[in-house]
Structure formats: C-alpha cells, structure tokens
Chains A and B, each alone.
Chain A
C-alpha cells in the first residue's frame, strides 16, 4: 500500500487526536502531516502542505467544511468528510457518492473509506465536480450519483421519472435515457429524493410528481408516467398519495 500524506481539519482537539490515533492503528499508511482547527486555518494548512488527502470536519464555528472545499476551484487532494451529525450535509455528500465517516469513529468504516480512495481514482474528480456544481446551482438542476457495477453516472434529478425497488437493488427510469439498476435498496433513495417531490406510492415504487401524466381511478388507481409506464398505488397508501398529489 502506498503512503498517503494527509491533513486533519477539525475544530476539536479530541476529534483530531482520536482520528489520528485510530488511523495510526488501523490505516498505518496514512501519514498525518498537518492539522488545523478551523476552516481558515484549514485552507492555509492545505496550501502549505499540499496533502493528498484531507479529513474534513463539516460543522466548525466560523465557516464549515464545505467552504474549505469550495475555496479550491480544482482541488488536487481527496476528501473524506467527518461528521458527528448533520442531516443535510450527509444528504449532500450522499448525492455525489462522496465518502464520509461518522463520529465516534467506526474503525471498519474508516478503513473502508481509505481503501476506496486507492481504487476508483478517476471517479473521484467526477464526484467532487458534481458535489461542487450541486452546491452552486438551483436544486432543480442538481444531479444525483447513481453507482452500478463499478460505474457511476450523474443524473439530473428532474429527469428521473420513477424508481422501482428490486430486492436490495433499485431500478431508475430516466427520461430519454436507458434504465439504470443501482446496488442500493429503494429506501436509501426514498429519503434522499423526498425533498425533491418524489413520493412512495407502493412498497416497490417511488415516483417523481413532476413526471405524472395522469391519475387513473379505475382498477384501484394507478399513475401513468411521462414515459407511459405505469406506477401502482397500493390500497393502503392511496389516501396518503392523493393527499400528497394535491399538495
């Protein structure tokens, strides 16, 4: 394994020490060459040391971790986000399939994130670009990373017509594009897409409200989507779905 030169940016000393200690034990190839306790100091430390990897805490007083990243137009380092709890930040990170670890640190999760950096080199830049673009543009233009069989595609959310659960996998139906079968269960996407006007109509279906062509009341009710495909509405969700379609 190659050595990786890394810096840690975290406002709390305990946070930095704990991560450093855990790394030296479980990821000895990661060398910590610098530390910083704020976003501003973090930017300086990165400029000074040109690390290959940055462990970036998200919530810090006086500028959060995302701002550190946004400062560099075209970062030549990789990032693993570190967070104790931040729902929206994690959503944004997951949208671009970037890596993050949670506090307190789970050694296995840390090892997984570090190992992943060594593989899939070329994907990293595309993920990061997607993340930075999403941060800058309106939500209607944002793209979500869909990973499947070692590949990754960034799909504009408003082009997604519906998603269909197939066991531990999810099939995406996308306007003017072929279907994509990703290796995550539907529930994962349900929480990511809820705030973009997607609703669950059936145990195996979530649909994009903006892509509904018509609501057919016969046969217990179903939706015809913009690609003429049909999304079922289950009996138990019917009332709730109708409420959500009105709203």
Chain B
C-alpha cells in the first residue's frame, strides 16, 4: 500500500468517525430537547395547579359570602339569639379554618371535602330556607381524593342561583356514587333551573367553569379521564324543575 493510499484511508476513517460523532450528538440533542420539553410541560402543569389553588382560596373567600354570613350572625346578636349566634360563629370559624388548612394541599379525601361542605351549607341555611341531604352509595370516601373545595362553587351555585328564590320545599341533594371505574359526585337542586325567564344574577356559571378547569387539571396530572355534565331538569310538561351538575373522576 502506498503512503498516499494510507493517508486517504486514514482521512476516510476520520471522516466517518466525525460523521458518526455528529449523528450521535444530533440524536443526543433531540433527546435532550425532548426531555427538557417534557420537564417544562410538567413544570407548567404544576405551576398551573398551584395558581388554581391560590384562586381557590380567593374564590372561596368570596367577599359576598363572608360579609353576608357575618351579617346573618350579627342579626342573631341583634335578636338576642345568643346561643345561635355562638353556634354559627363557631361554624364560621370551622369553615375558614378548614379552607385555610386545606388550600395548600393538592388533594384531600372526599370525606374531608364533604365535611367542609356540611359547614358551608349549614351557614348558607342561615340565609336561605332549604333542606339538604348527602347520599353516599358504595364509595369509600376516606380513600378517594379530590382537589380541595372542588364541589363548593357548584353547591354555592345550586343554592344562590337555584334554591334562593324558591318559596317552599327547596332541596339540595349531593349523591356520591360508584360507576364502573369512576367515582361520581352529583349536585342536584329543585330550584329555578338555568333557563328561567328572570335575568340571571351576575357571576352565574363562573364557579362551574372554575370547577371544571380544576377537574381537567387534576385529570391531566394523573393522566386519567374525567366527565363533567350539566343537566337541566324538566317536569313532564317541559317546565324547569332544577339543575344537576355531575362530576366524575377515574378512581385510583
């Protein structure tokens, strides 16, 4: 083999080597970018979940609800109903404590969520005349997790926009059920319905959209499915007789 040939061959080997190196670097680059992208997406998702948590506190600490509740309690003092005022103040404190304690958590058990709802509903019963019932069908509420206060805006909607205007027999029902792979939470009211003729109070629907957004985020985080369904309940003659909002999350 001549000197020249050998040089050409070495040069070729070097070129191949370089070529291979470039390919490997390119692949590494692509892989690295993909990982970075996934990480960024995860980080974004986490950030979004955090944001919604903060919004959760703000939304629940709805000034309207806060001041109206305090006003109701003040009215009890005014009427010298001391025992009742005492009782409602501790209920109010319990609710605020639960909201503050849970708002920093990603998820709480359904049992804890229902406890908060009971306090909340109890206070709203001071302002509005309605009955409520919580029915649990074959669900272990201690081992099913939801974002804190997921249901509260929906219940608030049902009370304020559904039941508040009803003169008698107003009822709120919460049904927790197990449907195949899903745990479903349904909030029913026998109130005015969504398409009643009087103009809707402002803010209606915001709470629902907010809950759906949180439901969507938690499903994305867990890589699971969810369902969110609003139904207008109708009598046989077609007139409105309430609203049902149903949220379903895949069970763990």
Q: Determine the chain A residues whose CB is within 8 A of the CB of B236 once the complex forms.
A: none
Q: Determine the chain B residues whose CB is within 8 A of the CB of A168 once the complex forms.
A: 111, 142
Q: Give the contact stretch, choosing among A99-107, A140-148, A171-179.
A: A99-107
Q: Determine the chain A residues whose CB is within 8 A of the CB of B181 once the complex forms.
A: none
We find that the number of chain A residues with CB closer than 8 angstroms to chain B is 21
Say which residue of B97, B140, B144, B224 sits within 8 Å of A236 (CB atoms). B224
Given contacts A185-B142, A202-B252, contact A85 B223 (CB under 8 A): no
Say which residue of A104, A105, A203 sits within 8 Å of B143 (CB atoms). A203
Q: Does the CB pair A107–B111 fall under 8 Å?
A: no
Interface string of B133-147 (1 = CB under 8 A from A): 000000010111100
Say which residue of A102, A105, A186, A236 sits within 8 Å of B222 (CB atoms). A236
Q: Does the CB pair B223–A236 fall under 8 Å?
A: yes
Bound complex: CA A186 to CA B111 (Å)? 11
Chain A residues numbered 106-140 whose CB sits less than 8 Å from any CB in chain B: 106-107, 109
Query: Could you write out 21 A-B pairs with CB less than 8 Å apart?
Result: A85-B97, A102-B93, A102-B97, A104-B90, A104-B93, A106-B94, A107-B87, A107-B90, A167-B140, A167-B142, A167-B143, A168-B111, A168-B142, A187-B111, A203-B143, A203-B145, A204-B143, A234-B252, A235-B223, A236-B222, A236-B223
A18 to chain B, nearest CB (A): 10
B173 to chain A, nearest CB (A): 23
Q: Determine the chain A residues whose CB is within 8 A of the CB of B86 once the complex forms.
A: 22, 107
How many contacts A-B (CB < 8 Å)? 46
Q: Determine the chain A residues whose CB is within 8 A of the CB of B140 once the complex forms.
A: 167
Residue numbers of B with Cβ under 8 A of A are 86-87, 89-90, 93-94, 97, 108-109, 111-112, 140, 142-145, 221-224, 252
Q: Does the CB pair B252–A106 fall under 8 Å?
A: no
A169 to chain B, nearest CB (A): 9
Bound complex: CA A103 to CA B86 (Å)? 12
Q: Determine the chain B residues whose CB is within 8 A of the CB of A234 once the complex forms.
A: 252
